[in-house]
Amino acid sequence: MKDRSSHRARVLRYGGEAGARVDDQLAAEEPLELRIAGQPLTLMMRTPGHDRDLALGFLFGEGIIRTAEDVKALTVVPNGEHPDLENVIDVELASSAPGVDRRWQRNFLSASSCGLCGVSSIEAIHETAPPLPDDDLAIDPEVIYGLDARLREEQAIFARTGGLHAAGLFTLGGQPVAVREDIGRHNAVDKVIGYATGHGLLPLDRHILMVSGRTSFEIVQKALQARIPVLVAVSAPSSLARDLAQSSNQTLIGFLRGRSLNVYSGRRRIRS
155, 164 Cβ separation under 8 angstroms = yes
Decide: residue 34, CB within 10 A, 0-12 exposed, 13-18 middle, 19+ buried: buried
Closest CA to 107 of 124, 119, 91, 90: 124
- Residue 89: count of CB within 10 angstroms of its CB: 20
Give the rounded distance of the alpha carbon of 233 from its chain centre. Answer: 12
The number of helix segments (H) and strand segments (E) in the chain equals 9, 12
Name the catalytic one among 114, 116, 119, 138: 114
The verdict on whether 117 is a catalytic residue reads no
> Do you know the residue count of the chain?
272
Separation of alpha carbons 150 and 80, rounded Å: 41
In the chain, the largest separation of any two C-alpha atoms, in whole Å, equals: 66
Active site positions, annotated = 114
